[in-house]
């Protein structure tokens, strides 16, 4: 393959000389010396074996070859300028890669706003989000496949470091045509017998919900198991079945089409924990993304938090 003819600097100085019709003025415009401009033009003429300017007593005039070359040279400079602007957009913020494990609880409403803010501030960070349930996500953290995951609170496991991420209310969710009044706190025992769409027993929340219902005397007569959040919501919207779902899923912007009621006496909450490998600290990019997720999760959860007198 023949070597590339003419450097970007050669082309830039040629364009200046063609437009100014003077090596001296071209040198002033491009912050170069007159001899330097002349040398770059000679480099081009030598590389292509064609004369570009007619030199006559300090004046220069472009040849037909120079005129043809100029029309393509400005395209090159314009393309380079465009490419440079694109590249400069990635110069802000951090760089690298982060891999995050999130449950559907976090991906439905919390993820998108946090992700949009993060990629705008750190465009050169490659973000990969893996969705799954707690057991699978815990295994991925243990294996080092993700930087961190957010899962329901559990007893812990060797090699993992965990801390509370958020305590968020659980909500009773029914179709828009439900006889319940949207937003009004309810006692589950008063809604029994319950037909509930619930996650499978592999999901940590399943046992928590069943224990709570037994404690408050809310009889569960029928259960459909769905480990599919969007499927659960679609089924609830089309039927008279109920679901108990974390507040993060039913954000104000995405709760249209459903009747949503906080659960009281006592409130039912979900504790979410951050888990990460015990042997390493979060990278700066991962820590910043986590902060944005936490901020958005707190905002969504606050919309359904009950007044203090309901929590006694």
| pLDDT tens profile 151-191 | 998 877 888 999 999 999 999 999 999 999 999 999 999 99
Q: Exposure of 2 by Cβ count < 10 A (0-12 exposed, 13-18 middle, 19+ buried)?
A: exposed
Domain termination residue (choose one: 88, 121, 139): 88
Q: Are residues 187 and 286 in the same domain?
A: yes
Q: Are residues 17 and 99 in the same domain?
A: no
C-alpha span between 47 and 38 (Å, rounded): 14
Q: Residue 142: which CATH number?
A: 3.40.190.290
Q: Are residues 262 and 283 in the same domain?
A: yes
The larger pLDDT score, comparing residue 242 to residue 203, is at 242
pLDDT at 49 over 70: yes
Bridging pattern class, strands 194-198 and 160-175 = unpaired
Q: Are residues 47 and 124 in the same domain?
A: no
Q: Are residues 78 and 184 in the same domain?
A: no
Q: Are residues 121 and 168 in the same domain?
A: yes
Whether residue 1 lies inside any domain: the answer is no
Q: Are residues 79 and 20 in the same domain?
A: yes
Could you tell me if 250 and 258 are in contact, meaning their C-beta atoms sit under 8 angstroms apart? yes
Q: Are residues 52 and 178 in the same domain?
A: no
Whether residue 156 lies inside any domain: the answer is yes
Percent of the chain with pLDDT over 90: 70
Domain termination residue (choose one: 54, 88, 122): 88
Q: How many domains does the chain have?
A: 2
C-alpha span between 245 and 236 (Å, rounded): 11
Whether residue 163 lies inside any domain: the answer is yes
Q: Residue 80: which CATH number?
A: 1.10.10.10
Range scoring the smallest mean pLDDT among 57-66, 121-130, 177-186, 234-243: 57-66
Whether residue 3 lies inside any domain: the answer is no
pTM score, whole prediction: 0.71
Percent of the chain with pLDDT over 70: 93
Q: Are residues 102 and 81 in the same domain?
A: no
Whether residue 195 lies inside any domain: the answer is yes
pLDDT at 312 over 50: no
Q: What rounded mean pLDDT belongs to the chain? A: 89
Domain containing 72 equals 8-88
- Alpha helices by DSSP H, listed for the chain, are 8-20, 23-29, 34-48, 64-88, 104-107, 111-121, 134-142, 188-191, 204-216, 229-237, 284-302
Q: Are residues 119 and 236 in the same domain?
A: yes
């Amino acid at each position: 393959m023949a070597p590339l003819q003419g450097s970007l600097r050669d082309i830039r100085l040629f364009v200046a000389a063609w437009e100014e019709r003077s090596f001296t003025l071209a040198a002033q415009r491009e912050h170069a010396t007159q001899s330097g401009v002349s040398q770059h033009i000679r480099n081009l003429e030598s590389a292509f074996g064609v004369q570009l300017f007619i030199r006559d007593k300090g004046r220069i005039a472009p040849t037909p070859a120079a005129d043809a070359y100029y029309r393509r040279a400005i395209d090159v400079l314009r393309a380079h300028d465009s490419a440079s602007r694109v590249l400069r957009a990635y110069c802000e913020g951090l760089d690298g890669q982060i891999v995050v494990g999130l449950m559907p609880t976090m991906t439905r409403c919390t993820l998108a706003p946090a992700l949009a803010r993060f990629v705008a501030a750190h465009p050169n960070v490659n973000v990969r989000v893996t969705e799954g349930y707690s057991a699978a996500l815990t295994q991925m953290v243990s294996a080092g496949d993700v930087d961190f995951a957010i899962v329901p609170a559990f007893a812990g496991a060797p090699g993992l470091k965990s801390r509370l991420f958020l305590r968020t209310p659980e909500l009773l969710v029914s179709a828009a045509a439900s006889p319940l009044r949207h937003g009004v706190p309810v006692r589950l025992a008063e809604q029994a017998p319950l037909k509930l769409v619930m996650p499978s027993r592999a999901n940590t929340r399943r046992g928590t919900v069943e224990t709570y219902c037994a404690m408050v005397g809310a009889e569960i007569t029928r259960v459909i198991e769905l480990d599919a959040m969007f499927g659960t919501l679609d089924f609830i919207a089309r039927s008279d079945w109920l679901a108990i779902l974390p507040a993060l899923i039913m954000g104000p912007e995405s709760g249209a089409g459903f009747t949503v009621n906080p659960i009281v006496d006592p409130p039912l909450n979900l504790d979410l924990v951050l888990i990460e490998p015990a042997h390493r600290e979060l990278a700066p990019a991962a820590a910043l993304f986590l902060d944005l997720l936490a901020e958005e999760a707190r905002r969504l959860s606050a919309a359904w938090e009950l007044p203090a007198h309901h929590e006694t």
